[in-house]
């Protein structure tokens, strides 16, 4: 039978009423709290008992203080004398249990209790949440700048959208926590002189739901990226990194607790924990250097790519399935080509980028044609004009001089609603086009001047590529 369990318990630190009520229910089921950490609370199996719990805050303490600190020992002796036994402690918060039917309250002065809670809040809760809110708002601002600078690239990048979702949720939850604490503190200031403190708003289930949602979205992103074979190397390095951060966090807390039990001073404890964290981070950075080749090789194997050598240098030839190929356009075999497809998809739009170019070891490589195109499938109609304008405005600006722009062209050969051709201000029209369909935008670049039949075929294929799945 399992003797210990860990649970994710995102209680607000000042929610003493809610925490005690929860621990009483757990004790009745035969589980006693033994450790509280940022991510997990640890319980030990015991005989089911009806117990009373209480939390007391000692604001002068730190999570790095030794267990045998005189001030802490005097505080614990006082509580033990009143029949209260320490279950565990976390920084300034100390959780006690009492098996008497009507125990003497651990805290008898609500005003002093409020003062201790407020002082403890400034050391951890308020500082940590304020930093998290500041970082989240800064990241949201930077993401907004990325969107304004290049909307179509931002909206089609699933990792950026996921990161933005994380920071938006973090900012929202942090604001909720800070507002709830502020309102509770204001009420407590009025009620404490009357002999009681107000109930707290329980945001635990909201935080749990948000956390589970982010984990599910991350798993979907990982599975989709690895299954497609186009983000395998990324996740083969990112997943160990995330696991290492969790491992380092748990190991850091274990080291900190061990140093506290050994009587290490607050300063020494902080210094050793910092050295441990920095060393672990550097070890991961070194490990990534050795992991990257294996991750890249795994991605190439999944995609069925091959490597070849030209003048001592290694190159990769891809053989991905694509919506439109050179073989269809020119009617010739493309065995001497590398056909690569990359892309991404979000709830806003999907992007498929294809390059089909001669291998460097092909005969007459310089004379062989090449093809490049990108297809955007817009899922939200309101974003269509935003994305089209973004593509039309994508010129290269050098010293206040736009090197190229797009001018209207005849859409009839392409079967499109609108077509724009790229104009190089230094050399005239180029064989690169922007095709506009109902919910599809596509840019296509030929290394030759396409015929009307090739335009018709390309337009038909790209316009229907969303229905066949371009990602």
- How far are the Cα atoms of 15, 38, 117, 190, 327 from residue 178, in angstroms, in the given order? 13, 18, 14, 19, 61
Residues 6+ apart with CB under 8 A from 124: 13, 91, 92
Strand, helix or coil for residue 310: strand
Taking the chain, what is the end-to-end CA distance rounded to the nearest angstrom?
47
- How far are the Cα atoms of 29, 322, 326 from residue 358, in angstroms, in the given order? 69, 16, 11
Residues paired with 41 in a beta bridge: 7, 36
Distance between CA atoms of residues 94 and 91, nearest Å = 8
Whether pTM > 0.85 for this model: the answer is no
pLDDT for the residue 154: 92
CA 300, 304, 310, 315 dihedral sign is negative
- How far are the Cα atoms of 39, 243, 276, 465 from residue 251, in angstroms, in the given order? 13, 12, 9, 50
**Cβ neighbours, 10 Å, residue 431:** 13
pLDDT for the residue 401: 59
Tokens 């369990």 belong to residue:
5
User: Tokens for 174?
Assistant: 């942090």
**For residues 368 and 323, is the Cβ–Cβ distance under 8 A?**
no
| Helix H or strand E encompassing 241 | helix 232-261
Residue 303 has phi, psi (to 5 degrees) of -85, -5
**Cβ neighbours, 10 Å, residue 236:** 18
pLDDT for the residue 469: 45
**For residues 383 and 349, is the Cβ–Cβ distance under 8 A?**
yes
Residues 6+ apart with CB under 8 A from 350: 156, 343, 344, 376, 377, 379, 466, 470, 471
pLDDT for the residue 233: 62
Question: Going along 77-141, which residue ranges are E strands?
Answer: 85-90, 93-98
pLDDT for the residue 468: 46
Q: In 3D, which of 413, 365, 364, 423 has the Cα closest to residue 392?
A: 423
- How far are the Cα atoms of 153, 190, 387, 393, 445 from residue 397, in angstroms, in the given order? 18, 62, 19, 11, 20
For helices 125-149 and 110-123, give the axis angle rounded to 10 degrees: 40
Distance between CA atoms of residues 152 and 156, nearest Å = 6
Buried residues in 157-174 as b, exposed as e (16+ CB within 10 A) = bbebbbebebbebbbebb
Distance between CA atoms of residues 73 and 80, nearest Å = 10
Q: What is the pLDDT along the chain (471 residues), one digit of tens a residue?
A: 678 888 888 888 888 888 889 999 999 999 999 888 777 889 999 999 999 998 888 877 777 777 777 777 887 888 888 788 888 888 788 889 988 888 888 777 888 888 888 888 887 788 888 999 999 999 999 999 999 988 998 998 888 888 899 999 999 999 999 999 899 889 988 888 888 888 888 888 888 888 888 888 888 877 776 666 566 666 666 677 777 777 877 788 788 888 877 777 878 888 888 888 788 778 777 777 777 777 777 777 777 788 888 888 888 888 888 889 999 898 877 778 888 888 888 889 989 999 999 988 887 777 889 999 999 999 999 999 999 999 988 765 545 556 778 889 999 999 999 999 988 877 788 899 999 998 899 999 999 999 999 999 999 999 887 654 444
**Cβ neighbours, 10 Å, residue 371:** 24
Q: In 3D, which of 231, 273, 237 has the Cα closest to residue 63?
A: 273
pLDDT for the residue 151: 92
**For residues 193 and 111, is the Cβ–Cβ distance under 8 A?**
yes
């Amino acid at each position: 039978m399992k003797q210990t369990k860990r649970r994710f318990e995102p209680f607000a630190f000042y929610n003493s009423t809610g925490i005690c009520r929860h621990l009483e229910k757990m004790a009745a089921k035969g589980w006693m709290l033994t450790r509280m950490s940022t991510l997990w609370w640890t319980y030990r199996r015991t005989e089911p008992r009806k117990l009373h719990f209480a939390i007391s805050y000692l604001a002068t303490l730190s999570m790095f203080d030794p267990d045998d600190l005189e001030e802490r020992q005097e505080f614990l002796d006082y509580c033990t004398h009143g029949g209260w036994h320490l279950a565990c402690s976390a920084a300034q918060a100390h959780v006690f249990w009492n098996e008497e039917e009507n125990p003497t309250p651990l805290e008898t002065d609500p005003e002093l209790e409020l003062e201790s809670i407020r002082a403890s809040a400034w050391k951890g809760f308020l500082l940590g949440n304020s930093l998290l809110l500041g970082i989240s708002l800064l990241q949201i601002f930077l993401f907004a700048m990325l969107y304004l600078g290049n909307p179509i690239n931002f909206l089609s990048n699933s990792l950026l959208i996921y990161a933005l979702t994380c920071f938006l949720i973090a900012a929202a939850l942090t604001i909720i926590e800070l507002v709830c604490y502020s309102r509770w503190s204001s009420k407590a200031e009025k009620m404490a002189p009357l002999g009681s403190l107000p109930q707290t708003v329980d945001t635990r289930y909201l935080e749990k739901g948000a956390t589970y949602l982010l984990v599910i979205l991350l798993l979907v992103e990982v599975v989709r990226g690895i299954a497609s074979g186009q983000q395998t190397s990324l996740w083969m390095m990112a997943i160990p990194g995330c696991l290492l951060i969790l491992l380092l966090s748990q190991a850091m807390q274990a080291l900190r607790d061990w140093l506290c039990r050994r009587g290490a001073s607050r300063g020494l404890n902080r210094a050793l924990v910092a050295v441990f964290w920095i060393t672990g981070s550097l070890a991961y950075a070194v490990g990534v250097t050795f992991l990257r080749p294996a991750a890249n090789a795994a991605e190439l194997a999944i995609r069925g790519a091959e490597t070849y050598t030209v003048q001592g240098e290694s190159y990769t030839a891809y053989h991905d399935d694509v919506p439109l190929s050179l073989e269809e356009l020119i009617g010739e075999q493309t065995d001497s080509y590398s056909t690569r497809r990359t892309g991404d998809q979000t709830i806003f739009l999907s992007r498929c980028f294809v390059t089909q170019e001669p291998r460097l070891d092909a005969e007459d490589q310089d004379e062989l044609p090449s093809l490049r195109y990108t297809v955007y499938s817009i899922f939200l109609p309101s974003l269509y004009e935003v994305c089209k304008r973004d593509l039309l405005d994508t010129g290269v600006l050098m010293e206040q001089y736009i090197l190229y722009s797009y001018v209207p062209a005849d859409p009839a050969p392409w079967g499109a609603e609108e077509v724009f051709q790229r104009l190089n201000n230094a050399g005239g029209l180029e064989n690169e086009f922007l095709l506009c369909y109902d919910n599809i935008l596509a840019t296509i670049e030929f290394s030759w001047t396409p015929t009307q039949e090739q335009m018709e075929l390309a337009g038909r294929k790209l316009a229907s590529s969303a229905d066949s799945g371009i990602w």
